[in-house]
């Protein structure tokens, strides 16, 4: 429903009044400056990055097989990640998730910048050699915009399950900066999604068997 300024003021809405989107708000909306907002973007952004990476690799002569898993239940025991790991038996895995994007009301030390590229995560729970190879490939030739994110313990992603399946699977995490996480107006920069896709594709091209 569209309302004029006068109608809003008559309804008690003033400049600075807090507002939010209704719970039927499903389709992402462009905000300008390359940003989109919507609900469940913490899932959709990761899926978009992965599928974009596959598109970038289309027609490339790779020395590796790539399996794409868009798993469910990441926040409830990571069942999808566990079962797919046993089904695929991968040599290594890259988990794509979102990272807490910085907003004026958030702790800068616990967040990453939005619009400056996807993050490559360093963590004690991740495979160091795989992580460093991904960082090196992102920096090679024309550097892909990216940030280094530090997670002292668990990353809170499917990487908490995959490394401990089978005989152990080397695992790395790529994060997409996202503001207002787990709300109906999650916000991401499209360039950060594209950055994540390019990082994955670039690394896949470097794998030699």
CB 174 within 8 A of CB 200: yes
Over 80: is that where the pLDDT of 26 sits?
Answer: no
- Quote the pLDDT of residue 77: 81
Does the residue 20 lie in any domain? no
Residue with tokens 């469910």: 72
pLDDT band at 79 (very low <50, low <70, confident <90, very high): confident
Does the residue 6 lie in any domain? no
Average pLDDT, stretch 172-183? 95
* Cα distance between residue 19 and residue 30, in whole Å: 18
Quick: pLDDT tens for 50-78.
999 999 999 999 999 999 999 877 777 88
pLDDT band at 1 (very low <50, low <70, confident <90, very high): low
Does the residue 15 lie in any domain? no
Closest CA to 176 of 100, 70, 77, 69: 100
* Cα distance between residue 113 and residue 101, in whole Å: 6
Average pLDDT, stretch 185-204? 97
CB 94 within 8 A of CB 170: no
Contacts for 28-31: CB closer than 8 Å, 24+ residues apart: 31/187
Question: For a pLDDT cut of 70, what percent of the chain falls above it?
Answer: 96
The burial class, CB within 10 Å (0-12 / 13-18 / 19+), for 81 is buried
pLDDT band at 206 (very low <50, low <70, confident <90, very high): very high
Identify the bridge partners of residue 175 per DSSP, sorted by sequence position.
97, 119
pLDDT band at 24 (very low <50, low <70, confident <90, very high): low
Does the residue 10 lie in any domain? no
Quick: pLDDT tens for 97-109.
999 999 988 898 8
What is the phi-psi region of residue 142: left when phi exceeds 0, alpha when psi lies from -120 to 50, beta otherwise? beta
Closest CA to 190 of 37, 11, 24, 8: 37
Does the residue 104 lie in any domain? yes
- Quote the pLDDT of residue 193: 98
Closest CA to 49 of 182, 198, 183: 198
Q: Report the number of distinct structural domains present in the chain.
A: 1
Over 90: is that where the pLDDT of 28 sits?
Answer: no
Question: For a pLDDT cut of 90, what percent of the chain falls above it?
Answer: 70
Q: Are strands 146-151 and 118-123 parallel, antiparallel or unpaired?
A: parallel
Over 70: is that where the pLDDT of 112 sits?
Answer: yes
Does the residue 108 lie in any domain? yes
First to last CA, the chain: 59
Does the residue 155 lie in any domain? yes
Does the residue 183 lie in any domain? yes
Q: What is the CATH number of the domain that holds 42?
A: 3.40.630.10
- Read off the pTM: 0.86
Full domain range(s) for residue 140: 25-206
Over 60: is that where the pLDDT of 25 sits?
Answer: no
Average pLDDT, stretch 192-196? 98
């Amino acid at each position: 429903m569209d309302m004029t300024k006068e109608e809003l003021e008559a309804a008690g809405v003033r400049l600075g009044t807090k507002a939010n989107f209704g719970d039927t708000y499903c389709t992402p909306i462009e905000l300008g400056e390359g940003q989109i907002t919507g609900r469940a973007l913490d899932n959709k952004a990761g899926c978009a990055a992965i599928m974009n990476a596959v598109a970038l690799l289309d027609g490339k002569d790779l020395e590796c097989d790539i399996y794409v898993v868009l798993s469910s239940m990441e926040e409830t025991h990571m069942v999808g990640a566990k079962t797919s790991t046993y089904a695929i038996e991968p040599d290594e895995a890259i988990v794509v998730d979102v990272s807490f994007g910085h907003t004026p009301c958030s702790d800068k030390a616990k967040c990453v910048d939005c619009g400056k590229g996807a993050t490559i995560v360093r963590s004690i729970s991740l495979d160091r050699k795989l992580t460093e190879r991904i960082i090196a490939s992102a920096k090679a030739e024309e550097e892909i915009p990216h940030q280094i994110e530090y997670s002292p313990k668990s990353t809170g992603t499917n990487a908490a399950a995959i490394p401990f399946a089978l005989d152990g699977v080397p695992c790395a995490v790529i994060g997409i900066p996202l503001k207002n996480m787990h709300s109906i107006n999650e916000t991401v920069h499209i360039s950060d999604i594209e950055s994540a896709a390019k990082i994955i594709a670039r690394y896949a091209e470097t794998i030699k068997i």
